[in-house]
């Protein structure tokens, strides 16, 4: 349809909605009725009048799937209308409100709907099959005034709201009975507020998500439209101010094209350029002008002047100044805008608007705005505008009073940014390049600080807010630094002075509590070191601080790293963010849970037999174990010195790789650290938009046959085999490879590790440092300090190691275990001579229940079978999430382990990054607290 259609049905239209085939229109003529019209033989005919509400109908939405209509009214109730034969049958939905319902919207999957109200409350309504009725759950005590608009994210879980307290908020609406069978959905801190944006002195009217959900737009009565792009820990917030009357509603026609409607009576077009910067483009329709009212010099004063500077008395008919209309077709305020597309298609090809006093419904084709295939930069579009463009206005930083969620970006997001080479250099005051990897928290932080879109203080405050909210449920941290905000403010001052900053500037890092920090306690999760604060930083921590990183705190762990569940901590048990009744893995469970729950951006752990990789698998994050010697162990409290390495956690492969690059290199304080040159690992991370369809063509992948035996859960095996198929789609050749010595690794590891621990832990005597138990004699003090300071698992391993090292058993156990280790190293070398990378599950199962294996140490030890061989061989390994298995409320993540040749972490990172960016339908952000919205 090439022309604009204009139809008048009533003196005033409050709201309207279209049927799924666009053949019928439902609207409220500013009373308690809903009228339904159909276009019959070129003429609109009234078919039905829906009469059940007692007061004005304030919201209508028509389901495209079930053909049901939902209405909301000032009478504080909703009805769901179902067409049975030729009659619309209503079902009452009791909202339990004490003020009027103001708006209503079906969710994208139409299994629930949201109602905004004047009661400072949002109702989430869904159909309860067991009782055959509609249930209303309330999100209470979050708004300070009326909720004027609601908008659903495409994932069917997140809901954005606008309210007259000047706030735009995002909530989770996860409801177990309707959403629990969608394991790939993102988030979801149930009923909790995810994000808050502040318009300061303005009401907030309308809010809408872009088609992909990567951009949020909202409008207020201050004649400004706000865009929050790359919604994440460091979102890009910008605004566009204009010299005209405020908007009331907005609609995305595409990712980079938006229509706004409101008091100006003419739709306004906004578009984003190739760098994601939004601009006002033009008005739609002919605009009438008015001569009354004073003139103003600024954008803000002019807009407010048009509202408040009008003549108090109209003039006689000798002039036309009594007409305040600025409209073309609409003669007064436009209430709402509704998308229209072809039946059966989600693509928006047209949209309709309805007015409050004119009573018109206007249908405009997409092509009247801009050709469907064209998204021109603003300079082209402004040339055709009927109004002069506003001068460039600075980016406004929204007030973030709660941290955002991290949704995995899809390919359309990458297309917005051109490929920019990334180098490991200092941050300067030069103009920033667009962020090539929006899902990398490190690069997003770097980009936001460079572009001044966000301050380090705002960023730190948002993460601390999330930490305060989630920590009572997760217990990831043993100690939280009280200097985080002070460090962030110092960084902001450096930015203001245009000083050079390190590549980790503003990045929030958590550190496992067996890695020394000079200003915070380091207990290794043991009572024997309770209250101990080291006089120095570990080398890895020192490097992070020198590069600008901010240490948030110390994370929980199994005592001295001896465990696989984090239940072995002497202080608390950490929970898994995907299901708080399950373990996060161990021994670096606190570090993995903190990254998974977005309590920090990245974290350090230690890996002796899988203590980074197994928790990464359980918590759905990326875990990187470097080659032995790549990272200095100085400051790492030793468990098994020939096996221990410091590893990295991140929510993306890029983050883990950048962290490894920062802490790698030779250290004169650690004789086992390698003098090999550290390659630029950050160069491996490029935007997927720059890759061809087979980016890994020619790469040889070996799937370890022994890791898919009967002892592995079928769901884990299926996820790993699907990951292998995905690698083949990327161009790899995948073949099975056998490592006959694989099963020997577990007993050899526990003999060697326990033997070293019995020697390393002999230094903890209660005299030199740590917790001291008073006693009359020195020997008694040694005995009591160790007996009361060490936990049961540590004692078990010390005794095992002492036994294996004793004179009568050294050859039978320790020496033979060393021989097995040599065999394992040779078998890996042979396999990697024929393959570039080996893959396997990271663990034989997904996360299990807390307490399930606590009293069965052999069962817990068996869970390390996938990882210990890599430590015995001294090789690098990367674990990244590859799928889900059933469990919890939304499914439990499964990790894929990639094993590479010594000191070739770059290849692992490149393959892992491409695998991660091309994996479809998997969003590895946990529910945190998986429960339904409470009343």
- 641 among known catalytic residues: no
The answer on pLDDT for 73 being more than 80 is yes
Q: Give the pLDDT score at 545.
A: 97
User: Mean pLDDT across the stretch 442-464?
Assistant: 88
The better pLDDT of the pair 263, 357 is held by 263
pLDDT band at residue 693, thresholds of 50, 70 and 90? confident
> Which has the minimum average pLDDT: 434-448, 587-601, 674-688?
434-448
Parallel, antiparallel, or unpaired for β 508-512 and 602-607? parallel
Tokens of 70: 């939902």
Question: What's the farthest any 2 CA atoms get from each other in the chain?
Answer: 117
Can you give the pLDDT at residue 273? 76
633-643 burial: b if 16+ Cβ within 10 Å, else e: bbbbbbbbebb
Q: Cis peptide leading into 684, omega within 30 of 0?
A: no
Task: Read off the pLDDT band of 141 (50, 70, 90).
Answer: low
Q: What is the Cα–Cα distance from 884 to 265, expressed in whole angstroms?
A: 50
Is the separation of the CB atoms in 630 and 661 below 8 Å?
Answer: no
The pLDDT assigned to 3 comes to 63
Structure tokens at 512: 């496992």
- Domains of the chain: residue spans and CATH: 441-755+811-918 (3.90.1300.10)
> How many whole angstroms separate alpha carbon 301 and alpha carbon 713?
66
Backbone angles phi and psi of 104, in degrees to 5? -150, 145
Q: Can you give the pTM of this predicted structure? A: 0.60
Q: To 10 degrees, what angle do helices 714-729 and 905-918 make?
A: 100
Residue 249: count other Cβ atoms within 10 Å of its Cβ. Answer: 22
What contacts 125, CB < 8 A, 6 or more positions away? 78, 93, 95, 112, 113, 114, 115, 134, 135, 136, 137
Of 137, 512, 543, 910, the active-site residue reads 512
Least confident of 87-91, 194-198, 858-862: 194-198
C-alpha–C-alpha distance, residues 21 and 31, integer Å: 26
Sheet with 43-51, strands from edge to edge, namely: 15-18, 24-28, 33-40, 43-51
C-alpha–C-alpha distance, residues 700 and 693, integer Å: 17
719/368: higher pLDDT: 719
Q: What is the token pair recorded at 374?
A: 């064209």
Q: Work out the number of other CB atoms within 10 angstroms of the CB of residue 402.
A: 18
Residue 32 has pLDDT above 70, yes or no: yes
Rounded CA-CA distance 500/491 in Å is 10
Inform me whether the pLDDT recorded for 536 exceeds 60.
yes
Give the C-alpha separation, 803 to 797, whole Å. 10
Burial class of residue 812, CB neighbours in 10 A (0-12, 13-18, 19+): exposed
Mean pLDDT within 195-222:
79
Q: Which H or E element spans position 817? A: helix 816-834
Q: Which two tokens stand for residue 839?
A: 């893959």
* pLDDT surpassing 70 at residue 89: yes
345 flagged as catalytic: no
Overall residue count recorded for the chain in this entry = 935
Within 8 A by CB and 6+ apart from 23, the residues are 38, 39
C-alpha distances out from residue 575 to 366, 565, 592, 841, Å = 50, 9, 10, 22
CA 379/CA 369 separation, integer angstroms: 16
C-alpha to C-alpha distance for 863 and 747, rounded to whole angstroms: 12
Read off the pLDDT of each residue in 884-902 and give the average, rounded to a whole number: 90
- Gap between the Cα atoms of 935 and 658, Å rounded: 44
- For 157, the token pair is 């879980």
The DSSP annotation for 538-563 comes to: -HHHHHHHHTT-EEEEEE--SGGG--
What confidence score (pLDDT) does residue 542 get?
98
Both tokens of 878, joined, read 């990367």
Task: Give, in order, the Cα–Cα distances in Å from 380 to each of 279, 367, 416, 634.
Answer: 12, 16, 18, 59
Half-sphere exposure of 325 (CA within 13 A, CB side): 16
Q: Is 795 a catalytic residue?
A: no
Least confident of 311-320, 537-546, 734-743, 791-800: 311-320
The pair of structure tokens assigned to 229 is 């792009």
Distance CA 191, CA 138 (A): 9
Q: What is the pLDDT of residue 301?
A: 46
Rounded alpha-carbon distances, angstroms, from residue 74 to 53, 78, 163, 337, 534: 8, 9, 17, 21, 64
**Which DSSP string corresponds to 737-750?**
E--TTGGGHHHHHH
Q: Quick check: 272 and 259 in contact, CB under 8 A?
A: no
Distance CA 14, CA 20 (A): 20
Contact 370, 347 (CB under 8 A): no
The answer to whether 215 and 336 are in contact (CB under 8 A) is: no
Q: Which two tokens stand for residue 21?
A: 């085939």
Q: Could you count the other beta carbons within 10 Å of the beta carbon of residue 320?
A: 12
CA atoms of 896 and 723, how far apart (whole Å) = 8
- How many other C-beta atoms are found inside a 10 Å radius of the C-beta of residue 63? 19
Q: What is the pLDDT of residue 326?
A: 52
pLDDT at residue number 284: 80
**Confidence tier at 661 by pLDDT (50, 70, 90):** very high
- Per-residue pLDDT of 848-861, as tens digits, reads 999 999 889 899 99
Closest by CA position to 280, among listed 239, 321, 246, 310: 239
CA 257/CA 260 separation, integer angstroms:
10
Residue 355 pLDDT level (bands cut at 50, 70, 90): confident
What is the overall mean pLDDT for the chain?
82
**What is the reported pLDDT for 288?**
54
Q: Which of 196-205, 630-639, 643-652, 839-848 has the lowest mean pLDDT?
A: 196-205
Residues 797-803, mean pLDDT to the nearest whole number: 94
For residues 95 and 103, give the distance between their C-alpha atoms in angstroms, rounded to a whole number.
13
**Measuring CA to CA, which residue among 556, 546, 561, 529 is closest to residue 636?**
561
Arithmetic mean of pLDDT, 591-605: 96
For position 54, what pLDDT does the model report?
A: 93
CA distances from 871 to 604, 748, 753, 804, 821 (A): 17, 11, 10, 20, 10
Q: Please give the DSSP secondary-structure letter assigned to residue 157.
A: S
Are residues 506 and 491 in contact, defined by beta-carbon separation less than 8 angstroms?
yes
How does pLDDT run across 815-829, given as a tens digit for each residue?
Answer: 999 999 999 999 999
Task: Write the DSSP string, 836-899.
Answer: SEEEEESSSSS--BTTSSTT-HHHHHHTTTTTHHHHHHT--EEEEEEEEES-TTT-EEEEEEEE
Confidence of residue 430 (pLDDT cuts 50, 70, 90): very low
Choose the catalytic residue: 163, 358, 569, 587.
587
Q: Write down the pLDDT at residue 342.
A: 59
Q: Determine the pLDDT at residue 164.
A: 87
pLDDT of residue 700: 97
- Local structure of residue 231 (DSSP, 8 states): -
**Range among 268-277, 280-289, 402-411 rated most confident:** 268-277
- Whole-number Å distance between alpha carbons of 692 and 911: 14
Residue 368 pLDDT exceeds 80: no
> What is the tens place of the pLDDT at every residue in 488-511?
999 999 999 989 889 999 999 999
Segment 710-731 mean pLDDT: 93
785: tokens are: 């300090």
DSSP 569: -
Q: Report the candidate in 494, 589, 497, 626 with the shortest Cα–Cα distance to residue 550.
A: 494
Residue 596, CA atoms < 13 Å, CB-side half-sphere: 39
Provide CB contacts within 8 A for 113, sequence distance 6+.
Answer: 61, 70, 78, 104, 105, 106, 107, 124, 125
Q: What percent of the chain has pLDDT over 90?
A: 53
Confidence grade of residue 453 (pLDDT, cut at 50, 70, 90)? confident
- In this structure, how many other beta carbons lie within 10 angstroms of the beta carbon of residue 472? 8
Residue 514 and residue 636 in contact, taking contact as beta carbons nearer than 8 Å? yes
Distance separating alpha carbons of residues 821 and 873, to the nearest angstrom: 7
Predicted confidence at residue 374, as pLDDT, reads: 38
Res. 602: pLDDT tops 70? yes
Set 611, 651, 785, 845: catalytic member: 611
């Amino acid at each position: 349809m090439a022309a604009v259609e204009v139809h008048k049905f009533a003196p005033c239209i409050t709201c309207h909605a279209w049927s799924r085939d666009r053949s019928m229109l439902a609207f409220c003529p500013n009373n308690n009725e809903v009228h339904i019209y159909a276009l019959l033989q070129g003429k609109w005919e009234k078919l039905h009048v829906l009469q059940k509400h007692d007061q004005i109908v304030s919201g209508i939405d028509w389901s495209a799937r079930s053909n049901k209509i939902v209405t909301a009214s000032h009478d504080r109730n909703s009805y769901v209308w179902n067409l049975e034969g030729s009659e619309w049958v209503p079902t009452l939905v009791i909202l339990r409100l004490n003020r009027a319902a103001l708006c209503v919207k079906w969710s994208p999957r139409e299994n629930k709907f949201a109602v905004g109200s004047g009661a400072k409350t949002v109702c989430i309504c869904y159909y309860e099959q067991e009782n055959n009725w509609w249930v209303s759950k309330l999100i209470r005590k979050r708004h300070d005034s009326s909720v004027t608009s609601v908008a659903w994210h495409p994932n069917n879980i997140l809901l954005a709201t606008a309210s007259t307290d000047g706030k735009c908020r995002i909530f989770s609406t996860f409801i177990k009975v309707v959403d629990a069978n969608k394991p790939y959905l993102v988030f979801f801190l149930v009923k909790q507020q995810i994000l808050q944006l502040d318009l300061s002195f303005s009401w907030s009217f309308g809010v809408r998500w872009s088609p992909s959900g990567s951009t949020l737009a909202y409008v207020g009565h201050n004649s400004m439209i706000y865009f929050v792009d790359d919604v994440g820990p460091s979102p890009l917030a910008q605004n566009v101010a204009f010299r005209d009357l405020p908007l009331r509603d907005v609609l995305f026609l595409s990712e980079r094209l938006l229509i706004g409607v409101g008091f100006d009576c003419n739709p306004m077009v906004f578009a984003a350029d190739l760098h994601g910067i939004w601009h006002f483009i033009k008005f739609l329709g002919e605009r009438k002008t008015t001569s009354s009212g004073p003139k103003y010099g600024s954008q803000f004063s002019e807009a407010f002047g048009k509202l408040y500077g009008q003549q108090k008395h109209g003039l006689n008919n000798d002039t036309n100044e009594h007409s305040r209309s600025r409209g073309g077709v609409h003669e007064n305020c436009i209430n709402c805008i509704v998308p229209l597309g072809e039946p059966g298609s989600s693509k928006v090809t047209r949209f309709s608007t309805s007015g409050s006093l004119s009573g018109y419904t206007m249908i405009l084709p997409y092509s009247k705005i801009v050709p469907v295939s064209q998204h021109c930069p603003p300079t082209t579009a402004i040339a055709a505008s009927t109004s002069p463009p506003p001068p460039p206005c600075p980016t406004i930083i929204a007030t973030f009073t709660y941290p955002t969620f991290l949704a995995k970006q899809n390919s359309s997001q990458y297309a917005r940014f051109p490929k920019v080479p990334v180098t490991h250099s200092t941050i300067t005051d030069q103009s920033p390049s667009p962020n090539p990897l929006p899902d990398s928290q490190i690069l997003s932080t770097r980009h936001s600080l460079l572009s001044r879109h966000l301050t380090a203080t705002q960023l730190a405050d948002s993460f601390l807010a999330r930490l305060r909210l989630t920590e009572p449920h997760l217990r990831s941290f043993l100690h939280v630094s009280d200097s985080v905000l002070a460090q962030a403010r110092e960084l902001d001052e450096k930015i203001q002075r245009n000083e050079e900053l390190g590549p980790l500037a503003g990045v929030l890092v958590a550190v496992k509590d067996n890695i020394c920090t000079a200003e915070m306690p380091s207990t290794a999760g043991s009572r024997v070191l309770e209250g101990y604060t080291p006089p120095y930083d570990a080398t890895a921590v020192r490097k992070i601080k020198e590069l600008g990183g901010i240490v948030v705190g110390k994370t929980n762990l199994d005592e001295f790293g001896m465990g696989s569940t984090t239940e072995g901590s002497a202080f608390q048990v950490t929970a898994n963010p995907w299901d708080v009744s399950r373990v996060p893995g161990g021994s670096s469970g606190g570090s993995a849970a903190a990254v998974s729950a977005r309590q920090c951006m990245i974290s350090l752990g230690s890996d002796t037999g899988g203590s980074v990789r197994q928790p990464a698998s359980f918590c759905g994050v990326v875990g990187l174990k470097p080659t032995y010697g790549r990272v200095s162990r100085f400051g790492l409290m030793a468990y098994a010195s020939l096996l221990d390495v410091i590893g990295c956690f991140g929510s993306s492969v890029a983050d883990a790789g950048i962290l490894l690059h920062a802490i790698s290199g030779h250290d004169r304080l650690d004789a086992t650290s390698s003098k090999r040159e550290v390659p630029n690992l950050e160069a491996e991370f490029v935007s997927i938009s720059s890759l061809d369809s087979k980016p890994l063509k020619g790469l040889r992948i070996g799937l370890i046959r022994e890791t898919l035996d009967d002892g592995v859960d079928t769901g884990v095996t299926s996820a790993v085999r699907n990951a292998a198929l995905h690698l083949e789609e990327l161009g790899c050749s995948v073949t099975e490879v056998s490592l006959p010595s694989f099963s020997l690794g577990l007993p050899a590891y526990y003999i060697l590790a326990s033997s070293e621990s019995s020697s390393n832990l002999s230094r903890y005597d209660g005299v030199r440092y740590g917790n001291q138990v008073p006693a009359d004699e020195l020997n008694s003090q040694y005995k009591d300090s160790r007996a009361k300071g060490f936990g049961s698992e540590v004692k078990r391993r010390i005794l095992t190691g002492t036994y294996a090292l004793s004179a009568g058993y050294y050859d039978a156990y320790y020496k033979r275990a060393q021989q097995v280790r040599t065999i394992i190293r040779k078998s890996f070398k042979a396999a990697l001579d024929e393959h570039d990378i080996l893959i396997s599950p990271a663990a034989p199962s997904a996360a299990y229940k807390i307490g399930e294996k606590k009293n069965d140490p052999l069962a817990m030890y068996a869970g390390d079978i996938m990882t210990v061989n890599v430590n015995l061989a001294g090789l690098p390994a990367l674990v990244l999430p590859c799928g889900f298995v059933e469990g919890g409320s939304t499914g439990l993540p499964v990790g894929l382990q990639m094993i590479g040749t010594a000191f070739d972490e770059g290849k692992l990172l490149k393959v892992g990054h491409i695998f991660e960016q091309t994996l479809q339908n998997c969003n590895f952000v946990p529910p945190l607290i998986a429960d339904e919205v409470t009343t």
